[in-house]
Amino acid sequence: MKKKIKRRLATFLCLGILITAPVSAQLNIGQYEDEAPFRTWNTFGISTASALGMGETQFASVADPSASLVNPARLTALSQFSIALHGSYTSASFDKYSIVNTGVLITEGNSAMGLYGIDFVGASFGYKGWALGFGVGLTESYDRPSQNPDYQSGGQVLYLLEFEQTGYLRNYNISLARKIGEWLSLGLGVNYVSGSMEKRIVENLFYSGVTISDLKTHAIKGFYLNGGLVADVTAKLRFAGVFRSPYTKDSESESFLRYDSPQGNTDIRIEASAENGYSQPLVLGIGVDYRFSPRFRAASDVTYFNWASYAIDYFSEEIDKEFKNTIKISGGFEYLAAVRLFQQEVQVPLRAGAIYDPQPVLTPDTHYVYFTFGLGMYWKRLHLDAGAMFGSEKGSGSNLYGRKFAFTLSYHI
């Protein structure tokens, strides 16, 4: 990928960073504001591999301990003891973010990056109609593709611009569920989130010995409730409803701006700290799971995000992003095949699905469309699932893409 820099006088660059950087968050970048989660704004819980393969349908059909983060009522459908370990690789492309393609640094073509790791570990326990679930999930990432273009003359680097942003949000959950009668289950979860975000911009003007730097760090924490119900309307039809309470991601934030010119005997430092806040939307969802036969079923989820209430308190300045509410729609199906392996019968679920994922930014009006696939291998109490998702964004003209590959290992007693 080729890059070029809009050259400015050093003094102008310094003033631009030292004076305007605190208010740069007001710029409507679109898909990737600094605090935007990696790939999509519409995040809710953890989608393990079995759900991912069916278009991320979870509300009425998730069958592992990740239910505690999405619909705790589903915990009553699990065995007496279940444990799950989930990992994934997610990649996405980016156009405008931070200083990239918004004024200072221009790239030719989109940037891209991938993230991988263990996203979730959890366990559940069931006893006489009660169920208790625990889970820890990596629910959001704030990483961006790094940039470090330079300007050279005569084989010598005269100018270097460095940009880097990293961050994550981890979710700790404990949930309790109760089965009421033969057809209804209710569940409620308590969640604590914590994480961090760091953005660093450094300009090195080697020809004049000047260094201009901008470092912002955020220590994030928050608290919210989630819950749901599951109703087995008939032997074939299951209905679910879920919610996540609105909450604020509080952030202890620090800003350090510096202009250092040893040759000019100048060292300007501007330090600030603040209690920032990022309001998170109310989330409501409904889901349905219908079993056509013992081996074939289909599921669908509809999720509402109240993004119109989104606002930020950023270094004592209230910023209204003017977001719109979104409705995410997903659906998928599963066919349960059976094979013999090492003289043992192994269940092999085959899955496929699709997702319509509109983003909350008003301009540009953009959405993602994903197609998903998955399969599993269930041998007695041990379940191994794999899922994949491929999609692209429409509306911005930037031809962004999103991809995800996931594996989940679970054990049920």
* Nearest-angstrom CA–CA distance, 303 and 283: 7
Query: CA 33: distance to chain centroid?
Result: 13
Is the CB of residue 195 less than 8 Å from the CB of residue 210?
Answer: no
φ, ψ (nearest 5 deg) of residue 334: -140, 135
Pick from 38, 34, 6: nearest CA to 400? 38
To the nearest 10°, report the CA torsion of 19, 21, 23, 29.
Answer: 140
| Cα dist from 217 to 16, 188, 253, 370, whole Å | 20, 33, 6, 33
* Nearest-angstrom CA–CA distance, 82 and 68: 12
Average pLDDT of each block of 10 consecutive residues along the chain (413 residues)?
39 39 47 92 95 97 95 96 97 94 87 96 96 97 95 89 97 97 96 97 91 96 97 96 97 95 90 94 98 96 96 87 94 93 86 97 92 95 96 91 97 94
| Other CB atoms within 10 A of residue 29 CB | 18
* Nearest-angstrom CA–CA distance, 68 and 136: 10
Is the CB of residue 255 less than 8 Å from the CB of residue 215?
Answer: yes
Q: Domain holding 133: CATH number?
A: 2.40.160.60
Pick from 24, 69, 50, 56: nearest CA to 302? 56
Is the CB of residue 170 less than 8 Å from the CB of residue 192?
Answer: no
φ, ψ (nearest 5 deg) of residue 208: -120, 0
Gyration radius of the chain's alpha carbons: 24
Is the CB of residue 41 less than 8 Å from the CB of residue 360?
Answer: yes
The C-alpha angle with vertex 268 and arms to 267 and 270, in degrees rounded to 5, equals 140
265 contacts: CB under 8 Å, gap ≥ 6: none
Q: Which pLDDT score, from 0 to 100, does residue 14 have?
A: 42
* Nearest-angstrom CA–CA distance, 312 and 366: 22
The bridge status of strand 326-341 relative to strand 105-107 is: unpaired
Structure tokens at 70: 């999405």
Residue with tokens 């890059």: 3
Provide the domain limits for residue 116: 3-412
Structure tokens at 302: 């509809």
Q: Which pLDDT score, from 0 to 100, does residue 30 have?
A: 63
* Nearest-angstrom CA–CA distance, 120 and 177: 20
Q: Look at the chain and report how many structural domains it folds into.
A: 1
* Nearest-angstrom CA–CA distance, 213 and 309: 34
